[in-house]
Structure 1
Amino acid sequence: MRFLSLAGRRLAAALPALIIILAGLFLLLQLAPGDTVDALVAQVGGSDPTMIEELRRHYALDQSTSVRLGDYLWRLLHLDLGHSAIYGKPVADVIVERLPATLLLMGSSLALAFAAGMALGVIAARRVNRWPDTLISTLGLIFYATPSFWFGLMGIFVFAVYLGWLPAGGFGSIGADPHGLSLVLDIAWHLTLPTLTLALIFLAIYLRIMRASMLEVATLDFVRTARAKGLSDTAVVTRHILRNALLPMVTLLGLQAGTMLGGSVVVECVFALPGLGRLAYESVMQRDLNTLLGVVFVSALLVIVINFVVDLLYVRLDPRINGGR
């Protein structure tokens, strides 16, 4: 019951946040110069004023901002994301085509950053103030301070152009039609460089948090009690220190979900991946308001779902948390 109560409260708090995000973005986009009709006219090289007026009436751009916002929120309640003027089909179809690439990129990057950051953080904490700690901390600082697009460009130059080990971009081999395991391996091969590029900066954050958390938990009373009982150092670390040190890592996992989605925009553009990040960039450039709002809607849902799962996982990891609070 406590678990279900917490889940219900988290979902109830997420719905107003989602509406505020979409309404705020809709109003902000009205301040940007140009609209969908301007982008369409620019693509065809110009048009007469009568045709432009008809297009604005067709896309309801002749109505007031408040009316269009109300109409959009009403359609959203019916899960209607609208029609993309640039791609010529429903926004939901466009997003469904692009979503798998982003989910795979985010999932693989998050898993790599979390696992490697946790392992390196534990090693640094166990060898504090010695050369492994110095080396890992220095690498973490370098990864955190270096922009992700620079890692991507250098990865393309070294591993794709110079060495020829990995593809420079794309989501699959051009002209090939793999199936089954061959398809999985082909996608994994193309996602290797993008995953490393997106994961490095988050790996640096996780290893620093894990190191600091391990060192803090190691000084608490229950750890000293466990050592006084005669438990081995490995048992103390795995049974007592590690589980409690993971709590800040799990919290950070949910907080970094939105940041990782933002980072995927840069990575997908660098590696020409057909994901939501690149779709958002193309929608901004082409003033496709419906598609951009649809991307933001799905992205916000992803962040809310990830934070929801993290909250529930946190309750399982820390029994002290009461769902009634």
Structure 2
Amino acid sequence: MSVMALDTKVGRGVAVALAIAGWFARFVAVVLVIATFNFVLVHAAPGDPAQVIAGQSGSADAKLLAQLRAEYGLDKPYPVQLATYLKRIVTLDLGYSYRQQRSVLSLLGERLPATLLLTCTAFFLALAAGVLLGTLAGMRAGKWSDTALTIVSLLLYAMPVFWLGLMLVLLFSVKLDWLPAFGYVTIGVEMTAFERMRDVASHLVLPAVSLAAVHMAIYARLMRSSVIELAHQDFIKTARAKGLKQGRIVAHHILRNAILPVVTVAGMQAGALVGGAVVIETVFAWPGLGRLTYDAVLQRDYPVMLGIFLMMSVIVILLNLVTDAIYRLVDPRVSLRAAS
């Protein structure tokens, strides 16, 4: 290996290391800003955790309230509480649950896999189905199939997520008895690893479809518009003039260009997808962060609420990274521009 090639390789390695270090620094800065914002909002909300805990214990006298506030650090000024909270985040210490008497990190560790499974499944389901339906509608613009897909997309977009979930339960669980209505896995039944995976998948279908439906409708409409616009571009006309088959034109020319705005919007709406999981998990009794959020809000459990909001923010950031990776995979020009 020549000296010039070695220097080039070392230079690229240094550039990659600096890029990773810069991304990590931005990631930490964003997380700390989000944590500060969450702390201010949560503590500005009405309600006192000490009064909730004291009320649940059957006694709410002033001495007990003062003792509880001192025990959980609620008697300190907000800036001191915020500084303590941010220091704990840096050391991955999310605090201790007032209500459940457990570390927040252990609670999140139990519930996070279920939320990630639901959110990621809904994300890729909405993206794949939206792109497919939008492409079909765009290639058949003005025909009855295009009209039917457009109407279905508008109906799905107009439906509230919780209402759609309940309707799917009534149809596929109560009426047809095809899928389980609630929960994560069948309780009290011994299963092999494969049977358990299949059981979890059957429980996942309804909540994932309910969560993905609205976003799928948005992606389908956007994809349809992109396909119709690209179908009349000069390079598509040139490809047809060369005698390329319609399938090849759609796959290699129209689809790869039309999907770019869809991927961009998908990344921007990742937060809405995670937020919608709170409602869906409550409707379907899905044991994820959404159900834990609902309980923490009712109990004024500040550490759990802050831990959940922080975790959801991190999930949104990671989903945006996945979206960026998909964007670079679909459009290699982005990687070339970044490298230059």
Aligned match for 2:146, one of 128, 133, 141: 133
Q: Residues 149-298 of structure 1: matches in 2 within 5 Å?
A: 149-298=162-311
1:62 paired with 2:75, answer: yes
1:303 paired with 2:316, answer: yes
Q: How far apart, CA to CA, are the structure 2 residues paired with 1:125 and 1:215? A: 5
Structure 2 equivalent of residue 145 of structure 1:
158
Aligned match for 1:25, one of 38, 49, 59: 38
Structure 1's consecutive aligned runs of 4 or more residues displaced over 3 angstroms after TM superposition are 1-14
Q: Deviations over 1:76-108 (max 9, x none)?
A: 111111111111111010001111111111122
1:41 paired with 2:54, answer: yes
Q: How far apart, CA to CA, are the structure 2 residues paired with 1:239 and 1:55? A: 64
Matched to 2:146, the amino acid is D
Structure 2 equivalent of residue 323 of structure 1:
338
Structure 1 equivalent of residue 100 of structure 2:
87
Matched to 2:26, the amino acid is A
Structure 1 equivalent of residue 4 of structure 2:
none
Structure 2 equivalent of residue 96 of structure 1:
109
Q: Residues 101-112 of structure 1: matches in 2 within 5 Å?
A: 101-112=114-125
Aligned match for 1:77, one of 90, 99, 120: 90
Over the matched positions of the two proteins, sequence identity in percent amounts to 42
Q: How far apart, CA to CA, are the structure 1 residues paired with 2:256 and 2:231? A: 12
Q: Deviations over 1:22-76 (max 9, x none)?
A: 1112112222122321221122222332222111100000000000000000111
Where does structure 1 lack aligned partners over 5 or more consecutive residues? Answer: none
Q: Deviations over 1:91-135 (max 9, x none)?
A: 010001111111111122122212211111111011100000000
Q: How far apart, CA to CA, are the structure 2 residues paired with 1:24 and 1:306? A: 21
The answer to whether the Cα contact below 8 Å between 2:51 and 2:60 also exists between their aligned partners in 1 is no
Q: How far apart, CA to CA, are the structure 2 residues paired with 1:312 and 1:289? A: 35
Where does structure 2 lack aligned partners over 5 or more consecutive residues? Answer: 1-11
> Quick check: 10-19 or 295-304, which moved more?
10-19
Structure 1 equivalent of residue 63 of structure 2:
50
Q: How far apart, CA to CA, are the structure 2 residues paired with 1:215 and 1:10? A: 37
Matched to 1:220, the amino acid is Q
What secondary structure does 2:244 align onto? coil
Q: Deviations over 1:193-245 (max 9, x none)?
A: 11111111111011111111111222222222222222122211111111111
Q: How far did residue 144 of structure 1 move? A: 0.1
The answer to whether the Cα contact below 8 Å between 1:3 and 1:323 also exists between their aligned partners in 2 is no
Q: How far apart, CA to CA, are the structure 2 residues paired with 1:155 and 1:311? A: 33
Matched to 2:338, the amino acid is G
Matched to 2:201, the amino acid is A
TM-score by length of 2: 0.90
Q: How far did residue 177 of structure 1 move? A: 3.2
What secondary structure does 1:89 align onto? coil
Q: How far apart, CA to CA, are the structure 2 residues paired with 1:130 and 1:307? A: 35
Q: Deviations over 1:136-167 (max 9, x none)?
A: 00000000001011111112222222333222
Compared with structure 1, are the counterparts of its residues 170 and 155 closer, same or farther at alpha carbon in structure 2 (3 Å cutoff)?
A: same
Compared with structure 1, are the counterparts of its residues 131 and 9 closer, same or farther at alpha carbon in structure 2 (3 Å cutoff)?
A: farther
Q: How far did residue 324 of structure 1 move? A: 6.0
Compared with structure 1, are the counterparts of its residues 284 and 110 closer, same or farther at alpha carbon in structure 2 (3 Å cutoff)?
A: same
Q: How far apart, CA to CA, are the structure 2 residues paired with 1:3 and 1:220? A: 37
Q: How far did residue 189 of structure 1 move? A: 1.3
Q: How far apart, CA to CA, are the structure 2 residues paired with 1:11 and 1:238? A: 36
The answer to whether the Cα contact below 8 Å between 1:6 and 1:323 also exists between their aligned partners in 2 is no
Matched to 1:277, the amino acid is G
What secondary structure does 1:30 align onto? helix
The answer to whether the Cα contact below 8 Å between 2:54 and 2:64 also exists between their aligned partners in 1 is no
Q: How far apart, CA to CA, are the structure 2 residues paired with 1:123 and 1:221? A: 21
The answer to whether the Cα contact below 8 Å between 1:118 and 1:210 also exists between their aligned partners in 2 is yes
Aligned match for 2:26, one of 13, 16, 39: 13
